[in-house]
Structure 1
Amino acid sequence: MLKTTMEIEKAAIMLKLLGDKTRLTMVKLLEHNDCCVCEFVEIFNTSQPSISQHLRKLRDVGLVKEERRGQWIFYSLNKNNEYYPFVEQLLIQLPNQDHKLKELEEKGTRITCC
């Protein structure tokens, strides 16, 4: 039988993780896009180590997965993760963030690492 509820402890962990504005925005961006660290560095105007730390936390709970493409690593939302149905309900409530990637494209800085 499909598990439809989540333990309070796991929900609290996920809410704490997504309580950070940067991580929440990253997850919303990854809802429909694969992104490289360098794109997040541009979007959030912050350092690569800081972005990598956020992504590590998301990856550690399995919410984000990574895929190597040549020498670069791209991140995507792991929709097969046990937490995804819970997270999906949060994402539905949030405004689309794809304009941030469009701004990078217009500036010519989308996927600057590739």
Structure 2
Amino acid sequence: MVHDFEDLAEVYKALADKTRLHMLALLACEELCVCEFVPILDMSQPSVSQHLRKLKQAGLVKERKTAQWVFYSMDGSRFPLLKDIVDSFPNVAAEIEQLKSRGLRVQCTL
């Protein structure tokens, strides 16, 4: 739970970027690996990682490591309003389906 204004400012700074909002919308659909964000967002892996780092620092996402891959999912435990905010985002499920149809969704499980 966010306990002070410093923490709250960190959350809102993380939410103040359209790429990070897009990432949260994607994570509301499914857990994703860093490498799966790259083709969806058309960004480099280091750029994706930087955005995810900011979301993690704000307590909005959590990570799970499997071998060399890091998977991210939403974490609403620190900021309970996150689910309500993300529910207002455009539906991006089709972007994940397109990733699957291109055969890119499974590259992290090889």
Normalising TM by the smaller chain, what interval?
A: 0.7 to 0.9
Matched with 1:105 is 100
Distance in 1, matches of 2:94 and 2:31, equals 14
1:7 deviation in Å?
Answer: 5.8
Poorly superposed stretches of 4+, deviation over 3 Å: 5-13
User: Helix, strand or coil for the counterpart of 1:68?
Assistant: strand
Amino acid at match of 1:101: I
> Which structure has the larger Rg over C-alpha atoms?
1
Ranges in structure 2 where 5+ consecutive residues have no aligned partner: none
Alignment of 1:7-18 (within 5 A): 10-18=7-15
User: Helix, strand or coil for the counterpart of 1:65?
Assistant: strand
| TM-score, length basis structure 2 | 0.85
Ranges in structure 1 where 5+ consecutive residues have no aligned partner: none
Alignment of 1:50-65 (within 5 A): 50-65=47-62
Amino acid at match of 1:98: A
Distance in 2, matches of 1:20 and 1:63, equals 13
Amino acid at match of 2:91: N
Task: Please report the RMSD computed on the Cα atoms of aligned residues, expressed in angstroms.
Answer: 2.0
What per-residue deviation string (whole Å, max 9, x for no partner) do you get for residues 76-100 of structure 1? 11132x21x2222211211211111
1:62 deviation in Å?
Answer: 1.6
Alignment of 1:17-96 (within 5 A): 17-80=14-77, 82-83=78-79, 85-96=80-91
User: Helix, strand or coil for the counterpart of 1:27?
Assistant: helix
